[in-house]
Structure 1
Amino acid sequence: MTERTPRKSDTGKKERLVALRPMAPIVPPINVSGRALMVVIAIMSFLCAITLGAVTMVQEKAEAWQGDISREITIQIKPADGLDMEAALTQVRSIVLSFPGALSADIVDRASTARLLEPWLGEGFDMDELPVPRLVIVTIDENAPPDFATIRQTLADAVPAATLDDHRAWASRLISMARITVFIGVGVLSLMFATTMLTVIFATRGAMDGNRHIVEVLHFVGAETSFIASEFQKRFLLIGLKGAAFGGGVAAAAYLLLGLWQSNTMATVLNDQVTALFGRFTLSSAGYVGIIGIVVLISAMTAITTRLTVTRTIREIDRQRADPALAEIG
């Protein structure tokens, strides 16, 4: 019999059929465990972003308070027998302004002093019946502050009832509070990242157990470890990116909506109480950049952890093949 030579049209049809045939992925499409991993990553990304935003706000507020305190000093004059308070205030103001580095000095009037004491003494009290100190607030040059020791000595000689407070104790407390808050926040973030890594490791091993036979076939027919690991890495990178982006996006939206709510509900009881407890929910651009960094970091960590886990699993397969006793146990 004469051997039939395949026609070009038959060869073309076969090539088109091969081209149209869908290529099945090595790692199956996202399944229940993959969805669960995505939810877990989203939750932990949300918590990481919320924690980072809170730490950023506290640190920025502490720095702002520290800046305000470092730009001002306060001189307090206590009432005394025979002391003309108004004259003493004017004299103190003149003495302070005579020193280089003192930019301005404002006397806190009686009405402002009464408003400061209203939360404790109520409205309508008579300041003349109480020994209420009076204040002079001085704005100083941060780059070239005045000599506080000389000011104290001059005030002690001219107005013995006057005392100067440069707020150094408050500044040191604010710095300590900011450092402790940042330390605690970094610790919480580290724990969350460690939990994310462990979750990804266990999820990847679960996926490897379900597809171990595929990995073994590919590995022993010549597929390189890097190729197999890359396929798993792409799949879990997509899962991590989706979950982290969703969690970080929800956290950023929460800060944005809370900030808008506080701006639109000024001078309300609820707003005042929330602001007193938690402060202003105003996240700076650095905070939003940090949230984006968390999304990128968690996604990259998911991909790297997946690659390392797959590589380790393939090494275990090689060891089991090399040792029959381990293969039987496996």
Structure 2
Amino acid sequence: MSEPTPHNAAERAPQKRSEMQVRPTAPIVPEANVSGNALMCVIAIMAFLACLTYGAVSMVRATAASWQSQISREITIQIKPDDKLDMEAALRDARDLALTFTGTKDGQIVDRAATARLLEPWLGEGLDLDELPVPRLVIITIDERNPPDFAAMRQALTETIPQAFLDDHRTWVNRLVAMAETTAWIGTAVLVLVFTAMVLTVIFATRGALSGNRHIIEVLHFVGAEAGFVASEFQKHFLKISLKGSFAGGALAALVFAIAGYWQSSSLATPESDQATALFGTFSVGLSGYLGIAATMLIIALLTTLTARFTVMRTIFEIDRIRSDPARTDGLPSS
């Protein structure tokens, strides 16, 4: 076998240097490992819970606002039956009297057939209203921006028709507002708990990744790598994980609301859909709800990234403090 000539060795040297230049370098933080996949699943679950809570709160607020708007547009005059009272005449008089007040738009007398239908769920079909002391109703539509004087109207009705009672639904409106506020506070508390748990999880995951790569980080840091460079590497790693996890959880939550809205729209006029609509309103969160879910996903990704960066910077600061303490570095090899 002939030895390579200097000319051949000179030709091979650039090739070797080229191969060394294109050789890929391993990242400081592994792209995919068990802890990263587990953290991604945890972030996905928390993002799903956070987006689901946000959508539910938005849905309850919209439903309460719809109820409040519908109730505030109408008032009800209830007339109790009496042996000496001409019910039909009293209903007309109550309607005409209410319409004389400024702020009223229209009045409608609930006829006997409609009254019987209202009582069917509780008393069954085939009711004879003459045999039962069933009150009759007059529904008055009012101007929401310029409502009438309810106190004056109530006093006038009492003086004209003693059996009449005016219900302006203020009690129900106040209860709905209180319920909406309570639900919003509960939802906000759940979101805070979810974000807190996520921050703690990211802190532990970041410290675990630091422990596994601590010797590499120390070498890089002591030979001149800035803390910001090391933190940025971890930041990129956790940004990818958080984006994947938050997108998966947020997309699943949006899919849940979309399926629920489709089920409700496809099962209209059924007892199940009517009861669900009466209790929760429409399951559609609308464009603002989906934009809020997307914003929640971005907040989760940003919060995860900032938490990882802060944890890395704090850990490097602790390493520097230990190295600068002579009492702690006695007996350790010098760098």
Which range, TM-score by smaller chain? Answer: over 0.9
Q: 1:49 aligns with which of 48, 51, 55?
A: 51
State the secondary structure of the residue aligned to 1:55.
helix
Amino acid at match of 1:283: V
Distance 1:100 1:8 in 2: 104
How do residues 153-172 of structure 1 correspond to structure 2 at under 5 angstroms? 153-172=155-174
Distance 2:7 2:220 in 1: 34
Partner of 1:181: 183
State the secondary structure of the residue aligned to 1:106.
strand
Partner of 1:71: 73
**Larger deviation, residues 23-32 vs 318-327:** 318-327
Give CA deviations for 1:36-55 in whole Å, capped at 9, x if unaligned.
00000000110111111111
Does 1:313 pair with 2:309?
no
How do residues 243-254 of structure 1 correspond to structure 2 at under 5 angstroms? 243-254=245-256
Amino acid at match of 1:170: W
How much has 1:274 moved relative to structure 2? 4.5
Give CA deviations for 1:61-95 in whole Å, capped at 9, x if unaligned.
11111111111111111111211111111111111
Q: 1:36 aligns with which of 23, 29, 38?
A: 38
Partner of 1:293: 295
State the secondary structure of the residue aligned to 1:217.
helix
Give CA deviations for 1:154-183 in whole Å, capped at 9, x if unaligned.
212221211111111111111110111111
How much has 1:280 moved relative to structure 2? 3.1
What percent identity do the matched residue pairs reach? Answer: 58
**Larger deviation, residues 289-298 vs 263-272:** 263-272
Q: TM-score if structure 2 supplies the norm length?
A: 0.92
Distance 1:186 1:139 in 2: 36
How much has 1:16 moved relative to structure 2? 3.6
State the secondary structure of the residue aligned to 1:145.
coil
Distance 1:306 1:286 in 2: 30
Distance 1:273 1:266 in 2: 11
Distance 1:81 1:212 in 2: 92
Give CA deviations for 1:185-220 in whole Å, capped at 9, x if unaligned.
101110110000000000000000000011101100
**Larger deviation, residues 219-228 vs 79-88:** 79-88
- Does the 8 A contact of 2:48 with 2:249 survive in 1? yes
**Larger deviation, residues 13-22 vs 103-112:** 13-22
Amino acid at match of 2:233: E
How much has 1:270 moved relative to structure 2? 4.2
Relative to structure 1, the CA distance from residue 325 to residue 6 in structure 2 (aligned partners, 3 Å threshold; closer, same or farther) is farther
How much has 1:13 moved relative to structure 2? 3.6
Amino acid at match of 2:179: M
Relative to structure 1, the CA distance from residue 329 to residue 106 in structure 2 (aligned partners, 3 Å threshold; closer, same or farther) is farther
Does 1:259 pair with 2:254?
no
Relative to structure 1, the CA distance from residue 326 to residue 110 in structure 2 (aligned partners, 3 Å threshold; closer, same or farther) is farther
Partner of 2:211: 209
State the secondary structure of the residue aligned to 2:76.
strand
Root-mean-square deviation (CA, aligned residues, Å) is 2.2
Return 5+ residue gaps in structure 2 as ranges. 1-5
**Larger deviation, residues 7-16 vs 238-247:** 7-16
Q: 1:133 aligns with which of 107, 132, 135?
A: 135
Amino acid at match of 1:30: A
Q: TM-score if structure 1 supplies the norm length?
A: 0.93
How much has 1:23 moved relative to structure 2? 2.7
